[in-house]
Amino acid sequence: MEIRKGLGLQALPSMTLLRELTDQIVLDTVFEQAPITRAEIAQQTGISKTTVSEAVRRLEGAGLLLPAGEQRGRQGRVGTYYKVASTAGFVVAVDLNPTQIRLCAADLFGQPFLESAHPPVQPREPARVAEQLRELVSKAIAEGNPGRGRPLAVAVSVANPVDPATSRVIPLADTPYPEGLIQPQEALDGLIDAPILVENDVNLAAIAERWHGAARTADSFAYVYIGAGMGMGLLIGDQLIRGARGVAGEIGYLSVSSQPPGPLHGRHGFARAIAAAGFHPSREPGSDQVAVDVARQVFDRAAKGNAEAKAVVEEEGRTIGEAIAAVCAVVDPELVLLGGPIGLHPALLEPVRATVQDLAPLPPAIEVGTLGDAAVLHGALALALRRARADLWAGVSRQPS
Amino acid sequence: MEIRKGLGLQALPSMTLLRELTDQIVLDTVFEQAPITRAEIAQQTGISKTTVSEAVRRLEGAGLLLPAGEQRGRQGRVGTYYKVASTAGFVVAVDLNPTQIRLCAADLFGQPFLESAHPPVQPREPARVAEQLRELVSKAIAEGNPGRGRPLAVAVSVANPVDPATSRVIPLADTPYPEGLIQPQEALDGLIDAPILVENDVNLAAIAERWHGAARTADSFAYVYIGAGMGMGLLIGDQLIRGARGVAGEIGYLSVSSQPPGPLHGRHGFARAIAAAGFHPSREPGSDQVAVDVARQVFDRAAKGNAEAKAVVEEEGRTIGEAIAAVCAVVDPELVLLGGPIGLHPALLEPVRATVQDLAPLPPAIEVGTLGDAAVLHGALALALRRARADLWAGVSRQPS
DNA sequence: TCTAGTTAGGAAGGAGTCCTGACCAAAGAT
DNA sequence: ATCTTTGGTCAGGACTCCTTCCTAACTAGA
């Protein structure tokens, strides 16, 4: 029973199941190692040459694989390279955040053919931002459409938690931003016949670091985002821990014992730094961006030796370290990565490490993320790609040609 | 690639794979619904009658299935019931804790044929306790051996964290008990040709509640044990979260901000209650048991209306609630169950609920475990059973008859 | 330039698995 | 006594994968 679920399809034992399995393995292999010949596929997968050839024939017939030149320069018969057809489809990733809307469209290899950033429309009302989102995605699809097949998945990154059951954005009570009130599923409704994946931005950054970044080898790891808010993305194995209601990783709430409750909670992990600089965050648009800049200035001063600023950084590091220590006590990750505009600041790493060293049961490795501010969009793209590839395969096996 | 890993075997597409899959499904179905006829299996699984018959023939040939009477009382041909052979094997579960050693041996249906509890040997030196463990398990195997096949798995519950990579017990620096210094793998070395599963007691209790107790329907849940120590078992989906080094769930460390660091950490979650009663835990053997009793008395007084005791319970509840709130902020479980000699006390539930309600981003359901102090052994048994059943299948498919 | 060795791909045949549909035998229903 | 229902088997067919052999084409080396 569990096995059947694990396969993620109607896994009754049957000839069809066997064929789908072979096709999927062959397709995956080509994805990862194109260009590749049938003989190489066979050798690597352990599947016999004949069977591989059959699978390739099916996949080529379905328009998913294409010949890609000849294998020359060695003894023996000339082999035919294969690759995934560039017309097989494409994906779109969108990062919907208060500062800007970033968009990336890429083919199934992850090769982008469109990248753009846009300031949010003014005035920033939910309905207008939703419309802007729809328009941008629509344009991206039009861009991809002539030669790249059809859109296979769209991933949208949002700054809010997302309900894992319904994939709906959970509006936070104190959100000052209209982005938190948009439901991308609705905004893009009817635009495409492909899954619309909505996910929290920090979770996506975590996915990016895990699949393609500094956490590639870590089996369990936590990505701690420190910027206009403080949040965490948690990956155990290849599984993203979303929580029952999608609020896993809201570690801003952990600092409750050292900070008074209030609207800052869950949003301003570096509250002291900005307060020390005489800045008070408000609900004004752009406030977060300003706050981040202010905090960064404090951190820079600390790096230059300013004692007062240093003390502030120390204290912030301790707060963050306490949160990380709590995470360690709960899930004991192998690695913790810091990210976000504040988290990437080099002055922060040491105080955080020191605190965690002091408090955690068994302190993990703590490093800084390598993907920088590209992590979120990168993660969204990766998520869309994975889904697109899986669906591609399902599409093939549904209509065996 | 991922699919192959998911299957947990040499999942190259092949005829054999198909057969193994069918056999496993049939075996599982009989396990869950014995006695059952071939026709019923076919109807329920969707596999054709012919194929089911084939599989049953193979499994019976391998000695795993046996006819179990006739299906009468209805129209049509008399069907043959099948069940898993009672000679297919058995499992042994051991709970190795400072107070006593509890043991349970059961057939593959989970039906116990041996249950016993033993006081630890005196003097309690690691080597002697290890020897005692070996002897007890040895006796259990002898008990099972004549008619029940061979031992297929032994699960040992320990109070320490367990390294998930090596399955070795991690000795805690301040452990006053010899049990924490025993490596069950070594103590039982050579005794049996079956896997020896070592797992933390709280994790096992969590498994028991998730698979057979109050958390059956919760997809993600945390089991919080409050007794001579404070710990947590975390299950997301069907996956036990052990952490990279096995110290996930050491939430005793979370109360660091409200308690001074020291040897109490991670062991005495109810420190205030016992301190209030004038008791100071020591490294003496039996100290923990006394401490628990003392704390329970305080809780009883609180339930009877004693104001002073009530205040202590309130405060303890708050401490525990804070820890749970932290867990919620990190992983957002659907359900939290309280367990352990203190955690099961009814006076604790309300204060804990109130605190979590106050602090957690989205408070989860909080209940009391239903399996009581049987949870640990129950979980060990469940773990051994699951493993035994999986291996059983692997055994069949390795040597197809 | 020519031969030998090497390699990709294909064809044929065989083994194994699952399914459909027909069939049988026995029991209860009528 | 006959009909209907039902568990199980049998025969035939479809499909998938594998092994083995074969072919064509290329490189290496004399």
Q: Using a CB cutoff of 8 Å and minimum separation of 24, what contacts does B293-300 make?
A: B295/B270, B295/B342, B296/B341, B296/B342, B296/B345, B298/B273, B298/B274, B299/B273, B299/B342, B299/B345, B299/B347, B299/B348, B300/B347
Q: What is the pLDDT of residue B261?
A: 38
Beta carbons of B296 and B373 less than 8 angstroms apart: no
pLDDT-wise least confident of A70-84, A333-347, B147-161, B343-357: A70-84
> Which residue of B257, B332, B356, B393 to mutate against A (max A Cβ within 10 Å)?
B332
Q: Is the pLDDT of residue A334 over 60?
A: yes
Instruction: Return the structure tokens found at B155.
Output: 């699960």
What is the crossing angle of helices A15-33 and A38-45, to 10°? Answer: 110
State mean pLDDT over A191-195.
92
Other C-beta atoms lying within 10 Å of the C-beta of residue A105? 25
B6/A24 Cβ within 8 A: no
3-state secondary structure of A17: helix
More confident residue, A2 or A65: A65
The C-alpha atoms of residue B303 and residue B351 are separated, in whole angstroms, by 12
Contacts by residues A118-123 (CB-CB < 8 Å, ≥ 24 positions apart): A120/A179
User: Closest protein residue to D16 using CA and C1' atoms?
Assistant: A15
* A361 chain-B contacts, CB cut-off 8 A: 247, 250, 253, 266
Q: Closest CB to B254: pick one of A21, A326, A333.
A: A326
Contact A12 B219 (CB under 8 A): no
Q: Which nucleotide is nearest to B82 (CA to C1')?
A: D7
Residue A263 to residue A103: CA distance in whole angstroms: 30
Q: Does B329 touch chain A (CB under 8 A)?
A: yes
Phi, psi of A367 (to 5 degrees): -135, 180
B125 Cβ contact partners less than 8 Å away, ≥ 6 residues apart:
B178
Residue A158: strand, helix, or coil: strand
3-state secondary structure chain B: CHHHHHHCCCCCCCHHHHHHHHHHHHHHHHHHHCCEEHHHHHHHHCCCHHHHHHHHHHHHHCCCEEEEEEECCCCCCCEEEEEECCCCCEEEEEEECCCCEEEEEEECCCCEEEEEEECCCCCCCHHHHHHHHHHHHHHHHHHHHHHHCCEEEEEEEECCCECCCCCCECCCCCCCCHHHHCCHHHHCCCCCCCCEEEEEHHHHHHHHHHHHCCCCCCCEEEEEEECCCEEEEEEECCEECCCCCCCCCCHHHHHHHCCCCCCCCCCCCCHHHHHHCCCCCCCCCCHHHHHHHHHHHHHHHHHCCCHHHHHHHHHHHHHHHHHHHHHHHHHCCCEEEEEHHHHCCHHHHHHHHHHHHHHCCCCCEEEECCCHHHHHHHHHHHHHHHHHHHHHHHHHHHCCC
CA of B42: nucleotide with nearest C1'? D7
Kindly state the percentage of chain A with pLDDT values over 70.
85
Q: Residue B270: what residue type?
A: F
Q: What is the mean pLDDT of residues A199-210?
A: 97
**Order of strands across the sheet with A220-226?**
A239-240, A230-236, A220-226, A335-339, A365-368
Residue B89 has pLDDT above 80, yes or no: yes
Of chain A residues 341-400, which have a CB less than 8 A from chain B? Answer: 359-362, 364
Q: Which of B218, B256, B329 sits opposite A251 (nearest CB)?
A: B329
Per the prediction, chain A carries an average pLDDT of 85
CATH architecture of B90-204+377-389: 2-Layer Sandwich (3.30)
Considering only CB atoms, which chain A residues are within 8 Å of B165?
none
- DSSP classification of residue B78: P
Question: Burial level of A168, CB count in 10 A (0-12/13-18/19+)?
Answer: middle
Q: Find the Å distance, CA of residue A390 to C1' of nucleotide D18.
A: 28
Q: ∠ CA(B114), CA(B116), CA(B120), 5° rounding?
A: 145
Instruction: Evaluate whether A2-85 and A214-370 have a shared fold.
Output: no
Q: Which of A143-157, B114-128, B171-185 comes out lowest in average pLDDT?
A: B171-185
Can you give the pLDDT at residue A398?
52
- Give dist(CA B80, CA B66) in Å, integer: 10
Radius of gyration (C-alpha) of chain B in whole angstroms: 24
Q: How far is CA B321 from CA B125, B161, B258, B366, in A?
A: 37, 23, 12, 10
Residue B296's φ and ψ, nearest 5 degrees, are: -65, -35
Lowest mean pLDDT of A2-6, A283-287, B69-73, name the range.
A2-6
Nearest CA in chain B to A328: B248
Q: What angle do CA A329, A213, A377 make, to 5 degrees?
A: 100
Q: Which two tokens stand for residue B71?
A: 């299906």
Q: Evaluate if residue A93 carries a pLDDT over 90.
A: yes
And the tokens for A28?
């995956």
CB distance B98 to B120 below 8 Å: yes
**Residue among A259, A269, A262 nearest A231 (CA):** A269
Looking at residue B169, what DSSP letter applies? Answer: B
Q: Does the structure show a pLDDT above 70 at B7?
A: no
* Range from A372-376, B117-121, B296-300 carrying the lowest mean pLDDT: B296-300
Cis amide bond preceding B184, omega within 30: no
Chain A residue with the nearest C-alpha to that of B334? A244
Q: Distance (Å, rounded) from C-alpha B8 to C-alpha B391?
A: 11
Task: Tell me if A11 and B2 make a contact (CB, 8 A cut-off).
Answer: no
Supply the pLDDT for residue A9: 44
Inform me whether the pLDDT recorded for B43 exceeds 80. yes
How long is the CA B140 to C1' C4 vector, in angstroms?
69
CB contact under 8 A, B241 and A21: no
**Nucleotide nearest A82 (Cα, C1'):** C8
Q: What is the pLDDT of residues A173-185, one digit of tens each?
A: 666 666 778 899 9
Over the stretch B321-347, which tens digit does the pLDDT of each residue have?
Answer: 989 999 999 999 999 999 998 899 888
Residue A217: how many other CB atoms lie within 10 Å: 9
Q: Which nucleotide's C1' is closest to A53 (Cα)?
A: C9
Instruction: Kindly tell me the sign of the dihedral angle through the C-alpha atoms of B370, B374, B377, B382.
Output: negative
Q: Mean pLDDT of all residues in chain B?
A: 85
Reported CATH class of domain B2-85: mainly alpha
* pLDDT tier at B156, thresholds 50, 70, 90: very high
Tokens of A293: 């800049």
Q: How far apart are CA A330 and CA B330, in angstroms?
A: 8
Instruction: Name chain B contacts of A330, Cβ cutoff 8 Å.
Output: 232, 234, 248-249, 251, 254, 326-327, 330-331
Domain ranges of chain B: 2-85, 90-204+377-389, 214-370
Query: Which of the two residues, B104 and B260, has the higher pLDDT score?
Result: B104
Strands A65-71, A79-84: pairing is antiparallel
Confidence tier at A125 by pLDDT (50, 70, 90): confident
**pLDDT, position A28:** 93
Selection from B134, B126, B93, B86 nearest residue B107 by Cα = B86
Q: How many CB atoms lie within 10 A of CB A165?
A: 11
CB contact (8 A) between residue B248 and residue A330: yes
- Cis peptide, bond prior to residue A285, ω within 30 of zero: no
- Starting at the earlier edge strand, list the strands of the sheet with A36-37: A36-37, A79-84, A65-71
Q: Which fold has domain B214-370?
A: Nucleotidyltransferase; domain 5 (3.30.420)
Per-residue pLDDT averaged across A88-110, rounded? Answer: 92
Give the residue-averaged pLDDT of B147-167.
94
Residue B249 pLDDT > 50: yes
Tokens standing for residue B374: 């049987």
A81 and A65 in contact (C-beta within 8 Å)?
A: no
Among partner residues A22, A244, A254, which is closest to B219 by beta-carbon distance? A244
Q: For residue A391, how far is the Cα from the chain centroid? A: 18
